[in-house]
Amino acid sequence: MRKFKKIAALTLVAAMAASAFVGCSSSSGSSAAGGANTDPTEPVTDASGEEISYRDQLKEKTYDGEGSVLNIYVWNDEFISRLSDHFPGYEKIDATNGKIGNVEVRFTKVENTDNKYQNNLDDTLLANGANQENASADDKIDIFLVEADYALKYVDTDYTMNLADLGITDADLPNQYQYTKDAVTDSNGNLKGISWQGCPGLLVYRRDMAKEVLGTDDPAEVQKAVSDWDTFADTAAKMAEAGYHMTSSVNDTYRVFSNNVTSKWVEDGTINIDDNIKAWVDMSKEMVDAGQTGTHALWSDDWSKGFYQDGNVFCYFGPAWLIDFSMACDQEGSVGYDGGWAVTEGPQGFFWGGTWICAAAGTDNQELVKDIMLCLTSDEETMTQIVEKDHDFVNNSVVMEAKATDSSFGDEYLGGQNPIALFCNGIETVSLENITSYDQGCNEEFQNTMKNYFDGNYATYEEALDAFYEAIKVKYPALNVPE
Partner 1 sequence: MSEPIGEVKKSVSTHARRVIAYIVLIFLSILCLFWFYLLLIYSTRSMGEITSGITFIPSTHFAENFKNLINSSQPVFKGLRNSLIIAGASALLSTYFSTMTAYAIHVYDFKLKKFIFTFILMIMMVPTQVTVLGFIQLMTKMDLINNFIPLIVPSIAAPVTFYYLKQYMESTLPLALIEAARIDGSNEVRTFNTIALPLMKPAIAVQAIFTFVSSWNNYFIPTYILKKEDMKTIPILIAQLRSADYLKFDMGQVYMMITLSIFPVIIVYLILSRHIVSGIALGSVKG
Partner 2 sequence: MAQNQASVAPMGKGKRSKVVRYNKWGYIFLIPFVAVFLVFNLIPLISTFYNSFYENYMDGLTQIGPTFVGFENYKQLFSDANIWKFSANTAIMWVMGFIPQIIVSLLLAQWFSDSRLRLKGSTFFKTVIYMPNLIMASAFSLLFFALFSDSGPINDLLVNKLHILDEPFKFFSSVWGTRGLVAAMNFLMWFGNTTILLMAGIMGIDVSLYEAAEVDGASSWQRFVRITLPLLKPILIYVIITSLIGGIQMFDVPQILTNGTGNPTNSTMTLIMYLNKHLYSKNYGMSGALSVVLFFITGILSLVVYNIMYRKRDKEA
- Contacts with partner 2, residue ranges (CB under 8 A): 113-116, 119, 122, 125-126, 153-154, 157, 159, 294-297, 300-302, 305, 437, 448, 451-452, 455, 457-458, 467, 470, 474-478
By DSSP bridging, strand 97-100 and strand 90-94 are: antiparallel
Pick the stretch among 71-79, 259-267, 287-295, 423-431 that binds partner 1 (CB under 8 A).
71-79
CA angle 327, 246, 285 (to 5 degrees): 115
Distance of CA 455 to the CA centre of its chain: 31
Report the residue number, 159 or 229, with the smaller CB distance to partner 2.
Answer: 159
- DSSP result, 1-70: -HHHHHHHHHHHHHHHHHHHHHHT-SS-S-TTTSTTT--TTS-EE-TTS-EE-HHHHHHH---TTS-SEE
Q: Report how far apart the first and last C-alpha atoms of the chain are (Å, whole number).
A: 61
| Per-residue binder mask for partner 1 (CB under 8 A), 88-127, x = binder | -------xx----------xxxxxxxx-x---x--xx--x
**Binder of residue 467, out of partner 2, partner 1, none (CB less than 5 to 8 A by kind):** partner 2
Kindly indicate which of the ranges 174-182, 254-262, 323-331, 392-400 contains the residues binding partner 1, using the contact rule CB under 8 A: 323-331
- Contact call for residues 453 and 461 (beta carbons, < 8 A): yes
Residues 6+ apart with CB under 8 A from 333: 308, 309, 310
Which of partner 2, partner 1, none does residue 107 bind (CB under 5 to 8 Å by kind)? Answer: partner 1
Give the helix/strand (H/E) hosting 98.
strand 97-100
76 binds, among partner 1, partner 2, none (CB under 5 to 8 A by kind): partner 1
Q: How many CB atoms lie within 10 A of CB 64?
A: 13
How many residues make contact with partner 1 (CB under 8 A)?
33
> Does the footprint of partner 1 cover residue 333 (CB under 8 A)?
yes
Which residue number, 91 or 302, has a Cβ lying nearer to partner 1?
Answer: 302
Closest CB 326 distance from partner 1, rounded Å: 4
> Do 62 and 104 touch, CB atoms closer than 8 A?
no
Q: Which residues pair with 359 in a beta bridge?
A: 143
Helix, strand, coil fractions of the chain, as percent rounded to 5: 45, 15, 40
Q: Report the nearest approach of partner 1 to the CB of residue 272 (Å).
A: 27
Task: Report if residue 440 touches partner 1, rule: CB under 8 A.
Answer: no
Are the C-beta atoms of 106 and 96 separated by less than 8 Å? yes
Q: In this complex, which beta carbon is closest to partner 1, that of residue 167 or of residue 201? A: 201
| 138 near partner 1, judged by CB under 8 A | no
How far is residue 373's CA from residue 31's CA, in Å, rounded to a whole number? 13
Closer Cβ to partner 1, 122 or 466, answer by number:
122
470 contact choice in partner 1, partner 2, none (CB below 5 to 8 Å, kind-dependent): partner 2
Residues in contact with partner 1 by the rule CB under 8 A: 75-77, 80, 95-96, 107-114, 116, 120, 123-124, 127, 299, 301, 304-305, 307-308, 310, 322, 325-326, 328, 331-333
